[in-house]
Structure 1
C-alpha cells in the first residue's frame, strides 16, 4: 500500500493541475465574454441602463451620459430619476407599478425626459424588470432612444404637406382675383382722367388705392406660396423701416399709454430683402404688442423682461459684423404654452374677426 501512495499523490496532483488549468481557462473565457459585452454596451448608439426600483441608475453607458448631458457616469448615477429625469414623474411610477403587479409591459414607451440643463427631450424607452429569487424586482434594464430630432423632422414634414396644400389653394384664389383687380385698377385710372367733380375724383382715387392694395396682397399671397418667381429683393435699411412703421403707429401708441423704447444701431449695414414684406412683418408685431399691452396696463401685475418698463415696447437693431438682428419685445402677458406649437402656422390667430 505504501508503494501505491506516491502514484496516487502524483495522479491527484495531475488532476489538480488540470482542474486549475480548466478553471483559469473558464475564467479567461468569462472575462473575454464580459469585455465583449462591456465593449458592445459602451459603443452602443442607444442609451443603456440598469436602475433600481426606487429610482436610481445603477449602471449607465456613455451614450446615455452624453444624451442627458452629464459629465460622467458617476454624476448620472447620483441623481434621482423621478425628480431629475422624468418631465412627468407619473410616467415612471405607472410603469413600475405595472411591473410590480406583473402586468404585460409595452415593448416601447414614448415619454419626455430632462437633460441636465433642464431642456426636455422626447425619448423612446424599452425596459424590463429583473427579479430576485423571492420574485421581487431587483432592478430594471432598459434601452433609450432620443427621438427629439426625428419628431421635429416629422412635424416639419407634416407642416410642409399642409403648406403645399395651402399653397395650391392660395395660388388658385390669387389667380382668380388678379384679373378682376387688374380691370378695376385700369378702369379707375381711365375714369380719374375724365373726372371733373372733386367728389368723383376722391371716390375714384379711393377705389384705385384700395384695389391696388388688394392686388399687392394677392401678389404677397403668390410670393408666400413660392409659385411666383421674382419676389423683390433689394438693399434695405432696417432702421429706416423701424422709424417709418413706428411713425404710422405713434398716435395709436400714445393714446393707449404705451411707450416705445428704441435702441437702433447707427452703424447697421443694409440687408437684402423685400421692404414691403419687412414693413408688414414689423407692423404686425407692433400691433400685436400694442394689443397685448392694452390688456397688461389694466392688470395690477405684469412681467418686465430685460428691464423694459411696464407698458412698453422695446425695439432694437444691432450687428456683429456677420449678421443683423432686429428685436422687438414687450411687457405683455406672453403667448400661452398651448399656442406655441401653432405660431408658425400661416393665417392662424386667436383674435376675433376684425382685429387682425
Structure 2
C-alpha cells in the first residue's frame, strides 16, 4: 500500500519555512539582548550562533523548498546540479556553529577570568575607598591631637615662670618664652632671627661657661642642673640653674639646644641668710662663753684698780697710770656686755610700749647732732601700728645704732627717712631706716652682722653695733634685712612680730 506524497511534501515545505522564520526571530532576540548588555559575552556568543544557525536554516530550508519545487516541476536535473552546493553550504554553516562553540569555550574562560579580576578590582576598590575614608578620619584625628598637643605645650611654654629657650649650636636664640625675655631683659618686639639681638652666649657672666656648656651638650647631648651666672641686658646678675638637651635639625643641618633655666637668686640669698644665721648663732655661743670667762677677771682688775686709785693722790704719775687702766678696763667691760647682748644671754625686761614713742626718743637725742651736719630726718609712721611687748632700752639701742650708722654713711648734707608699716595679714611691723649715703659694697653685705667687722677707720667703731642690734632683734623673735646700692644709699628694715597686741591702741 502506497502512502500519499502530499503530507510529506507539506511538512517538508512548512518545516523549512518555519525553520527560516524561527532562526531569524532568534537572531532578532539575541541582537536585542546583546544591545542591552554589550559587555556580556554570552549574548555575543548567542548572536553569533544565531547568525550561523540562520545561515544554516536558510541554506537548508531554501534547498528543501527548491528540491520539492524542482521535483514537482519535473526538473530533477537542476536539483541534481544544485544539491552539492546546498550540501556544502549546510556543512560550512555547521562548521561555523562548531567553530563558534569551540571558540566561545576559550572566550568563556577568559570572560570568567575577567569577571574574577573585575570582582577583585571592585573589592580592592571598595577597600581603597574604605581605607581612604578611614585614612581621612585618621589624619583628621591625628591633626586634632597634634593641634591639642601643640596648644597644650604652647601654653606651658608661654605661662612657665622658668625660662624656656631654643638655641642653635652657634648660640642664636630661635625662640624664647616671656619668662625668659623678662629674665634676660629682652624686648618683646625682637625675635631670635634679628641681627640686633645678642646671641645666648653673650648673656653668660663668663664666656668660658657658655663654651664649656656648649661642648658638654654636643658631647653628651644633655646637661642637667648646671649652676651658672647670667647677666641681663640691663646689667642685672642672675644666678640660675640650667638644664639642656640637644637634637639634630635636618633642615638646618645643625644641632638645636633646648634650655630650661630657673632663677635661683632668691634661693641663694635665702641660703646665704641661713648660713649667716647659723654663723651668727655659733659666734654668739662662742662670744657668750668668752664674755663670761673674761667678765670675772676683768671685774677683779677693775675693782683692784679702783682700790689703788683711792689710796693714790691725784696728779701723780702713778695716779694717771691707774686711771688709764680703769678707763680701758671699763671699755673692755662695755665690749663684754655688748657680746653678752649679742649672744642673747643678757637679761631683758620686756613691757608693753609704743614703737613710735621709742623711735621718737631716739630721734630727739640725735636730732641736734644730725642738724649740725645738715642731715634732714623724715618720718612716715603708720597710725595702724599697735602697741608691742618689747625691751624699750634695747630697742632704743637698735634704732640708735641704725640711725648713727646712716649718719656716718652720709657724712654731711643728706637725708634719713624712718618709716613704719603694719601688715595685719602677716601680723608683722616693719621699721625701715633709709639713707642716701655711700652704700655698702656687695662683698661686705654678707659680713655686716659679724662681730668686730667694720668698714670704718681705726678707732671709729668696734664692729659690734650691728651684731648687738641683730641679737636684740632676734631676741624679740624678729629679723633685720638690708638692701644697699653703692653710691645710692642703704635701707635697714627691722621686722617685729605682733604678739598680744591691743590694736585699738595704735602707736603715734
TM-score by length of structure 1 reads 0.67
Note closer, same or farther for the CA distance 1:350–1:66 as it changes in structure 2 (3 Å cut).
closer
Give CA-to-partner distance per residue, 1:162-216, whole Å, 9 cap, x none. Answer: 2222112211111012222333444455555565544366555544443323211
Tell me, which stretches of 5 or more residues in structure 1 are unaligned?
Answer: 248-260, 290-307
Pick one of 404, 410, 416 that aligns with 1:317.
416
Residue 144 of structure 2 is aligned to residue 28 of structure 1: yes
1:346, distance to aligned residue in structure 2 (A): 3.0
The equivalent residue for 1:50 is 166
Give the whole-Å Cα distance in 1 for the aligned partners of 2:403 and 2:215.
Answer: 53
Report which of the two has the higher share of helix: 2
Contact 2:160–2:179 under 8 Å retained in 1: yes
Contact 2:402–2:433 under 8 Å retained in 1: no
Give the whole-Å Cα distance in 1 for the aligned partners of 2:191 and 2:342.
Answer: 47
Note closer, same or farther for the CA distance 1:215–1:245 as it changes in structure 2 (3 Å cut).
farther
Pick one of 190, 210, 213 that aligns with 2:328.
210
1:313, distance to aligned residue in structure 2 (A): 4.2
Note closer, same or farther for the CA distance 1:63–1:316 as it changes in structure 2 (3 Å cut).
closer
Contact 1:245–1:282 under 8 Å retained in 2: no
Note closer, same or farther for the CA distance 1:245–1:276 as it changes in structure 2 (3 Å cut).
farther
Pick one of 168, 175, 180 that aligns with 1:64.
180
The equivalent residue for 1:123 is 240
Contact 2:380–2:419 under 8 Å retained in 1: no
Contact 1:185–1:212 under 8 Å retained in 2: yes
TM-score by length of structure 2 reads 0.50
CA RMSD of aligned residues (A): 4.4
Give the whole-Å Cα distance in 2 for the aligned partners of 1:225 and 1:201.
Answer: 36
Give the whole-Å Cα distance in 2 for the aligned partners of 1:335 and 1:321.
Answer: 23
List aligned pairs for 1:1-16, cutoff 5 A. Answer: 12-16=128-132
Note closer, same or farther for the CA distance 1:76–1:186 as it changes in structure 2 (3 Å cut).
farther
The equivalent residue for 2:366 is 241
Give the whole-Å Cα distance in 1 for the aligned partners of 2:178 and 2:200.
Answer: 21
Pick one of 333, 340, 344 that aligns with 1:226.
344
The equivalent residue for 1:258 is none
Note closer, same or farther for the CA distance 1:34–1:11 as it changes in structure 2 (3 Å cut).
same
Give the whole-Å Cα distance in 1 for the aligned partners of 2:362 and 2:442.
Answer: 34
Tell me, which stretches of 5 or more residues in structure 2 are unaligned?
Answer: 1-38, 41-114, 382-391, 422-430, 462-508
Contact 1:112–1:123 under 8 Å retained in 2: yes
Give the whole-Å Cα distance in 2 for the aligned partners of 1:245 and 1:207.
Answer: 33
Contact 2:416–2:436 under 8 Å retained in 1: no
1:347, distance to aligned residue in structure 2 (A): 2.3
Pick one of 298, 303, 327 that aligns with 2:435.
327
Give CA-to-partner distance per residue, 1:310-351, whole Å, 9 cap, x none. Answer: xx7445333467666463635xxx877655554443324689
> After the TM superposition, which of the residue ranges 4-13 and 28-37 deviates more from structure 2?
4-13
Give the whole-Å Cα distance in 1 for the aligned partners of 2:280 and 2:230.
Answer: 31
Note closer, same or farther for the CA distance 1:276–1:125 as it changes in structure 2 (3 Å cut).
closer
Contact 2:378–2:415 under 8 Å retained in 1: no
The equivalent residue for 2:494 is none
Give the whole-Å Cα distance in 1 for the aligned partners of 2:155 and 2:161.
Answer: 12
1:243, distance to aligned residue in structure 2 (A): 4.7
The equivalent residue for 1:107 is 224
The equivalent residue for 2:284 is 167
List aligned pairs for 1:175-324, cutoff 5 A. Answer: 175-190=292-307, 196-199=313-316, 205-230=323-348, 234-235=358-359, 236-238=361-363, 240-241=365-366, 243-244=368-369, 261-265=373-377, 313-319=412-418
Contact 2:403–2:433 under 8 Å retained in 1: no
1:159, distance to aligned residue in structure 2 (A): 2.1
Larger radius of gyration: 2
1:104, distance to aligned residue in structure 2 (A): 7.0
1:262, distance to aligned residue in structure 2 (A): 1.9
Contact 1:192–1:204 under 8 Å retained in 2: yes
Give the whole-Å Cα distance in 1 for the aligned partners of 2:339 and 2:134.
Answer: 87
The size of the alignment, in residue pairs, is 315
SS, match of residue 416 in structure 2:
strand
Contact 1:170–1:225 under 8 Å retained in 2: yes
